[in-house]
Structure 1
Amino acid sequence: MSRSSRLPLILLVLAAIVLAALWVLKPDKAPEGNLSGAAVGGPFTLTDETGARVTSESYDGKWRLMYFGFTYCPDVCPVDTAKLGEGLKLFEAKHPDAALKVQPLFVTVDPERDTPEALAEFTDNFHPRLVGLTGSRAEIEAALKTFRIYASKVPGVTEGSYTYDHLAVIYLMDPKGRPVEFIAGPTATPELVEAMLSRFLA
């Protein structure tokens, strides 16, 4: 085969290599939900309920079902976390394999009281795979800022006691930690959580 006859074949091979590279390197589009493109989420470094240090990368490859609250919350947080847990259980019953791709997370806004032990006791009430996250005050503040969560300490009725006024929302983040969808805590139901998961994972 002459050099001139080999040239078109070489060009075809090069073109195929370039197209393959472009396919591999093309941007992975995030799922389309009511949070798509929002400036919510990002890197974090915290401590899980076993005392292990974790980062946002610890959950890469998993869909994250997230809620920010505190274990001393008298009503809102337990109710919302129950909705999250029950919704995930409904999804597990319908799509057990897909459900394994979901990591539920409860991030405290009150690290002074929410030790890993306190979080483990709290999360066990709602779902066996729900993981509580805490950290230093600085780490929690950084996470709150990253996830656009408002949380303000409110003095209690007795001296030294306090509670928190905070944004109550259930977030769904994709396996790369990008924001996909949210459900406001007051309007959430287990069925809405299950439907959200089914829409993106089933």
Structure 2
Amino acid sequence: MKKTIGYFLLISALFIGLAGCAAVLPSSKTTVVSPWQNFKDIEMIYKKIVPGTTVQELKQWGFDPYTSPNIKILNYRDIAVYFMPNASIQMSDLPEAVQLAIKAKDRSRAYLIQPSDRKKKRTGSFWLDTAKFKRLTNETGWQFQGLIIIVDDNVVYKTPVSGEPIINTKDEQKNPLGPFQELGDWTIGIGKGFIK
């Protein structure tokens, strides 16, 4: 009976090993919830926004921070920092509509829109990944960014379409010593403790 169970476990382990085991590797998904399903959806609607568009129209198109998640409201100070992140950029360098919004102070605000859908999946050999010899990660998805500036309930400026319509990156990490690679870091840490 024990031999039968042992053979069964051995055959099961071999079968799993031969199958590649990629299905049991970890994966993750980061979705910034939004009313838009992909980059083209939001890009098409975002392009409709022009100076003079009302806040009510923005709401109808889904650009409402109180009903659509993940839209950040910026005040005039935040707008200034967004466009002038360092001293090399002066107020006079900014578009007139942005200058107007900063000077309007409390009458102005901006909506920072950053929806995205990113998926990470580990691929390759389960055994090499688990033993930390070689890890392959594939990231796919999309990411959009736009900024709409509003003064007195009317759009005065929007940034051009920005972002990544298609994300497809592959990351490969190799550790020739596998799990023993971290052992070297651990011994160095212990050695530093004795030196103090």
Relative contact order: is structure 1 or structure 2 higher (C-alpha 8 Å, sep ≥ 6)? 1
Considering the TM-score relative to the shorter chain, is it more than 0.5? no
Structure with larger Rg: 2
What TM-score do the two structures reach when normalised by structure 1?
0.30
What TM-score do the two structures reach when normalised by structure 2?
0.31
